[in-house]
């Protein structure tokens, strides 16, 4: 009852309709119920009054239905090798990256270890341990408990890497939950480029992208908060850097709903140093009503204390968030910075408003601080005897606008920001982009400028992009990019123009294979060309790139996937998410999982679903197409409600049912009477004879005897005959066995 989203009080009424044989007769016993069998579709239809259906927005799934999963050991891997050759300098640069996310699930305990190997120009860097921890959920508190390497909550304070213990609420255990946010990294590559992502000075992701705009959504190994620093290395060695802001924004909570986090431990730095600073950080948010969410928090550490007070207000003029922080700190008395002011303040103001009438979104952000240090900055300065950063008065303003027009006029995005710091040059940035479509042609225009008052330095960029599908089903697409960049300061000025033309697409009969080829034009000449491809298999994602110009050439290759070890053996799969499922159907080799792309059961009848939603109902559908003819599934759909970080077993019951198409003939060559009954040697009814003496029979033995019974209306006598059969030892998987049998 609960699994189907029905009210619990319905259970007694349903059970009351149970007969002595265990069957349910709900027609007439449960008011408003109607059950009927559709023989043409072999489907039982049940009509249920809406009054018995739970409200999906408020119904909480019974924690007793949560599946803790089976014991497993697994490892995600992400491998990438990048090599570029600069002929002018006679130099070859190589870099190799191997990221590992390993885990062990035992009952409700989940052990995790994340690390990475990297090699540069054949010199191996030490193995980087990113984090090691163990996790366990606490349903009664709607919380997660973690021991080990953790990051304190960045919901209100800046996130700090620590080693200790943390307990925090998990809204995914509620019907209306907030999914964790993974930032999307966007950028523009001018060639087949190597993209590295750093967080808290750690390399957490590395991949190769083809020339043009790119978007990365599957970054792993990152903490819940902390800015991402993106480094793009072009094929000619040029490096460009950018920052993706990754801080959880304050949000309104429902009335009487609370969210909390408490962390205690020692501060970590660069995953290599463990400071002596014993620290407690706690935050609490409470939904007072529909219009006000209260925020508060505190940090208590050696020589550092901080307090936060703020809230989010849902007002008629928009959503306003305000958080004010005061911090007191004292450097070591033997440290030169002990003369610095030891009290700092920070205030953050955010305003969001979406205007329905004009489809306009406005976001305004202000951050101002003076003599303020976060816990992480203080611990680094205090322990390393280095000057702290950002102590002077600092102000940052940012305004952005999103405008969606009707289908004809596209959309517009604009952003402007300015930062001021005492005794430092100010900086200004603006961006403007427009996207639209004309018939089948998609196009976008963008412009941006970064300007610093230091040496009157500025960087302007203009870009025009056009794409056009080459076929009706959008499998292949032609595109072109034009980019103009102008850099200037007091000493020099440079201009760059680039035109790129290419084709991207996927194969019709192999949709998981994607390719791209392009040519770059500079000064009206083709100066480089490039190609890239990736192929998704049920076991891994493979990729490769190649590019060449007059002076340089580049190539790369990579692979990502996972290995899962469980009691029956090993399964190779694509990269696993936080929670995953193991599907098993005995003798189900070749069956497809309809709810997941490109997934089939292996020879042992197993497959891995890489992503499942924790604490929510997940439907897993097995398509019998591809199964051997003699394998029958009791059900093609199963439901599972996994706990977070678990590896659940989704079991489908199957059985071997040897089948064959018989063509019965009597001794005189005629066919038996249509409708004749067919029995096996155990006197079990197997079916009926159809026209022409044909009969499709299931659950056959490898060999046996069949008896046909029918009534002869001409002689008015019952007749019978017997036919022997022998099935082949190996039945075909894609067609029925056809047997001609003489019945005597």
Helix (H, G, I), strand (E, B) or coil at 285: strand
Helix (H, G, I), strand (E, B) or coil at 629: coil
How far, CA to CA in Å, does 35 sit from each of 29, 43, 635, 637? 11, 11, 19, 20
Distance, CA of 205 to CA of 220 (rounded, Å): 7
Q: Is the pLDDT of residue 177 over 60?
A: no
Helix (H, G, I), strand (E, B) or coil at 199: strand
Categorize the per-residue pLDDT at 247 as very low, low, confident or very high, splitting at 50, 70 and 90. Answer: very low
Q: Which two tokens stand for residue 173?
A: 């255990």
Same domain flag for 648 and 665: no
| Mean pLDDT, rounded, for 541-561 | 91
Distance, CA of 708 to CA of 666 (rounded, Å): 10
**pLDDT number for residue 291:** 79
Distance, CA of 608 to CA of 598 (rounded, Å): 11
Share of the chain above pLDDT 70, in %: 85
Q: Which two tokens stand for residue 529?
A: 């060309």
Counting Cα atoms < 13 Å in the Cβ hemisphere of 355 gives 12
Same domain flag for 733 and 677: yes
Q: Is the pLDDT of residue 248 over 60?
A: no
| Mean pLDDT, rounded, for 179-208 | 77
Same domain flag for 649 and 710: no
Q: Is residue 201 in some structural domain?
A: yes
pLDDT tens-digit series, residues 584-604:
998 888 888 887 777 888 889
Higher-confidence position of 127 and 560: 560
CATH of the domain at 594: 2.60.40.2610
Same domain flag for 630 and 676: no
Helix (H, G, I), strand (E, B) or coil at 278: strand
Helices H / strands E in the chain, number of each: 2, 49
Residue after which a domain boundary falls, among 656, 685, 703: 656
Q: Is residue 474 in some structural domain?
A: no
Q: Which two tokens stand for residue 191?
A: 């060639």
Residue 353 · residue 365 · CB < 8 Å: no
443-447, 461-465, 484-488, 531-535: least confident range: 484-488
**pLDDT number for residue 579:** 95
Same domain flag for 626 and 698: no
Categorize the per-residue pLDDT at 111 as very low, low, confident or very high, splitting at 50, 70 and 90. Answer: very high
Distance, CA of 368 to CA of 349 (rounded, Å): 9
pLDDT tens-digit series, residues 345-380:
999 999 988 787 788 889 999 999 888 888 888 888
Counting Cα atoms < 13 Å in the Cβ hemisphere of 425 gives 10
Closest CA relative to residue 185, chosen from 206, 208, 216 = 216
How far, CA to CA in Å, does 690 sit from each of 1, 304, 638, 661, 687? 42, 88, 35, 11, 9
Q: Is residue 46 in some structural domain?
A: yes
pLDDT tens-digit series, residues 423-434:
777 888 899 999
**pLDDT number for residue 626:** 75
Q: Is the pLDDT of residue 384 over 50?
A: yes
Count how many residues are written for the chain. 744
Same domain flag for 685 and 645: no
pLDDT tens-digit series, residues 57-110:
445 678 889 999 999 999 999 999 999 988 777 888 899 999 999 999 999 999
Strand order across the 606-609 sheet = 606-609, 580-584, 647-651
Q: Is residue 396 in some structural domain?
A: no
Categorize the per-residue pLDDT at 532 as very low, low, confident or very high, splitting at 50, 70 and 90. Answer: very high
Helix (H, G, I), strand (E, B) or coil at 377: helix
Residue after which a domain boundary falls, among 201, 229, 244: 244
**pLDDT number for residue 417:** 93
Q: Which two tokens stand for residue 410?
A: 């596209």
Q: Which two tokens stand for residue 409?
A: 């006029």
Pairing assessment for the beta strands 304-315 and 318-329 based on DSSP bridges: antiparallel
Rounded to the nearest angstrom, the gap between the alpha carbon of residue 124 and the centroid of all alpha carbons in its chain is 31
Same domain flag for 589 and 642: yes
CATH of the domain at 222: 2.60.40.3110
Q: Is the pLDDT of residue 182 over 60?
A: no
Rounded to the nearest angstrom, the gap between the alpha carbon of residue 217 and the centroid of all alpha carbons in its chain is 8
Task: Produce one character per residue of 570-592: b if its CB has 16 or more CB atoms within 10 Å, e if not.
Answer: ebebbbbbbbbbbbbbbbbbbbb
Same domain flag for 211 and 235: yes
Q: Is the pLDDT of residue 400 over 70?
A: yes
Categorize the per-residue pLDDT at 310 as very low, low, confident or very high, splitting at 50, 70 and 90. Answer: very high
**pLDDT number for residue 444:** 94
Average pLDDT, the chain: 84
pLDDT tens-digit series, residues 227-240:
678 899 888 788 88
Q: Is residue 620 in some structural domain?
A: yes
3-state secondary structure 231-244: EEECCCCCEEEEEE
Higher-confidence position of 72 and 171: 72
Q: Which two tokens stand for residue 545?
A: 């790139």
Q: Which two tokens stand for residue 632?
A: 């029958």
Q: Is residue 322 in some structural domain?
A: no
Counting Cα atoms < 13 Å in the Cβ hemisphere of 743 gives 25
Q: Is residue 27 in some structural domain?
A: yes
Residue after which a domain boundary falls, among 198, 228, 244: 244
pLDDT tens-digit series, residues 274-298:
887 789 999 999 988 877 889 999 9
Same domain flag for 688 and 738: yes
Q: Which two tokens stand for residue 478?
A: 């032609």
Q: How many domains does one find in the chain?
A: 4
| Mean pLDDT, rounded, for 551-559 | 91
Categorize the per-residue pLDDT at 643 as very low, low, confident or very high, splitting at 50, 70 and 90. Answer: very high
pLDDT tens-digit series, residues 444-477:
999 998 887 665 677 888 999 999 998 877 788 8
Residue 107 · residue 135 · CB < 8 Å: no
**pLDDT number for residue 55:** 47
Q: Which domain holds residue 226?
A: 187-244
Q: Is the pLDDT of residue 181 over 50?
A: no
Same domain flag for 644 and 711: no
Distance, CA of 610 to CA of 607 (rounded, Å): 9
Distance, CA of 611 to CA of 573 (rounded, Å): 11
Share of the chain above pLDDT 90, in %: 36
Q: Is residue 364 in some structural domain?
A: no
Distance, CA of 210 to CA of 96 (rounded, Å): 18
Higher-confidence position of 135 and 737: 135
| Mean pLDDT, rounded, for 687-715 | 88
**Strand residues in 453-574 grouped as ranges (E):** 457-469, 476-488, 493-506, 513-522, 525-536, 540-549, 552-566, 569-573
Instruction: Answer positive or negative: Cα dihedral of 502, 506, 507, 508.
Output: negative
Q: Which two tokens stand for residue 535?
A: 């192929």
Same domain flag for 664 and 739: yes
Distance, CA of 62 to CA of 59 (rounded, Å): 9
Same domain flag for 692 and 639: no
């Amino acid at each position: 009852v609960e699994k189907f989203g029905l009210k619990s009080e319905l259970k007694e009424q349903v059970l009351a309709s149970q007969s002595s044989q265990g069957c349910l007769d709900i027609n007439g016993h449960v008011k408003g119920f109607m059950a009927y069998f559709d023989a043409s579709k072999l489907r039982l239809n049940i009509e249920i009054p809406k009054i018995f259906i739970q409200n999906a927005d408020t119904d909480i799934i019974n924690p007793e239905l949560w599946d803790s999963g089976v014991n497993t050991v697994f490892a995600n891997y992400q491998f990438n090798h990048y090599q570029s050759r600069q002929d002018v300098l006679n130099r070859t640069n190589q870099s190799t990256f191997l990221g590992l996310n390993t885990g062990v699930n035992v009952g409700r305990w989940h052990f995790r270890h994340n690390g990475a190997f990297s090699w540069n120009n054949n010199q191996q860097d030490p193995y980087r341990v990113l984090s090691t921890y163990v996790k366990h959920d606490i349903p009664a508190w709607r919380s997660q408990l973690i021991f080990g390497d953790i990051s304190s909550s960045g919901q209100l304070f800046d996130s700090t890497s620590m080693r200790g213990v943390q307990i925090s609420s998990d809204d995914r255990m509620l019907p209306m939950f907030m999914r964790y946010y993974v930032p999307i990294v966007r950028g523009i590559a001018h060639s087949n480029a190597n993209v590295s992502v750093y967080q808290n000075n750690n390399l957490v992701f590395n991949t190769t992208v083809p020339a043009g705009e790119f978007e990365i959504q599957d970054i792993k190994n990152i903490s819940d908060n902390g800015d991402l620093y993106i480094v793009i290395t072009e094929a000619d060695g040029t490096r460009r850097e950018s920052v993706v802001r990754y801080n959880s924004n304050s949000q309104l909570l429902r009335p009487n709903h609370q969210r909390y986090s408490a962390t205690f431990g020692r501060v970590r730095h660069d995953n290599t140093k463990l400071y002596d600073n014993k620290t407690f950080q706690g935050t609490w948010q409470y939904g007072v009503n529909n219009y006000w969410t209260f925020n508060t928090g505190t940090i208590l550490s050696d020589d550092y204390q901080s307090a936060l007070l703020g809230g989010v207000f849902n007002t008629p003029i928009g959503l306003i968030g305000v958080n004010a922080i005061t911090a007191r700190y004292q450097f070591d008395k033997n440290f030169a910075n002990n003369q610095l002011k030891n009290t700092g303040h920070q205030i953050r103001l955010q305003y969001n408003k979406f205007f329905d009438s004009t489809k306009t979104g406005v976001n305004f952000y202000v951050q101002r601080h003076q003599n303020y240090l976060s816990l992480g900055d203080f611990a680094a300065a205090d322990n390393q005897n280095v000057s702290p950063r950002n102590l002077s008065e600092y102000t940052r303003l940012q305004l952005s606008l999103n405008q969606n027009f009707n289908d004809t006029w596209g959309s517009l995005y604009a952003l402007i920001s300015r930062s001021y710091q005492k005794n430092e040059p100010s900086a200004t940035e603006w961006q403007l982009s427009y996207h639209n479509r004309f018939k089948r042609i998609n196009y976008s225009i963008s412009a941006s400028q970064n300007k610093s008052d230091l040496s009157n330095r500025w960087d302007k960029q203009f870009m025009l992009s056009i794409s056009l599908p080459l076929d009706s089903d959008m499998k292949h697409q032609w595109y072109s990019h034009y980019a103009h960049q102008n850099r200037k300061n007091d000493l020099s000025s440079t201009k760059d123009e680039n035109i790129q033309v290419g084709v991207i697409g996927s194969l019709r009969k192999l949709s998981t294979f994607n390719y791209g080829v392009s040519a770059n034009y500079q000064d009206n000449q083709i100066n480089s060309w490039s190609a890239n491809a990736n192929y998704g298999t049920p076991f891994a994602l493979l990729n490769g790139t190649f590019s060449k110009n007059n002076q340089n050439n580049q190539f790369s290759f990579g692979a990502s996937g996972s290995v899962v070890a469980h009691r029956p053996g090993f399964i190779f799969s694509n990269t696993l998410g936080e929670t995953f499922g193991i599907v098993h159907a005995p003798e189900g080799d070749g069956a497809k999982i309809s709810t997941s792309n490109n997934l089939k059961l292996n020879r042992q009848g197993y497959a891995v679903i890489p992503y499942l939603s924790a604490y929510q109902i997940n439907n897993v559908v097995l398509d019998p197409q591809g199964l051997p003819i003699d394998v029958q599934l009791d059900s093609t759909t199963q439901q599972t409600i996994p706990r977070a970080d678990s590896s659940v077993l989704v079991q489908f019951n199957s059985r071997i049912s040897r089948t064959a198409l018989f063509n019965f003939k009597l001794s005189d060559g005629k066919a038996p009477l249509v409708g004749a009954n067919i029995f096996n040697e155990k006197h079990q009814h197997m079916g009926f004879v159809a026209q022409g003496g044909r009969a499709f029979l299931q659950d056959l033995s490898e060999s046996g005897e069949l008896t046909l019974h029918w009534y002869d209306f001409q002689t008015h006598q019952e007749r019978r005959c017997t036919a022997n059969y022998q099935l082949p030892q190996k039945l075909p998987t894609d067609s029925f066995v056809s047997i001609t049998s003489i019945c005597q």
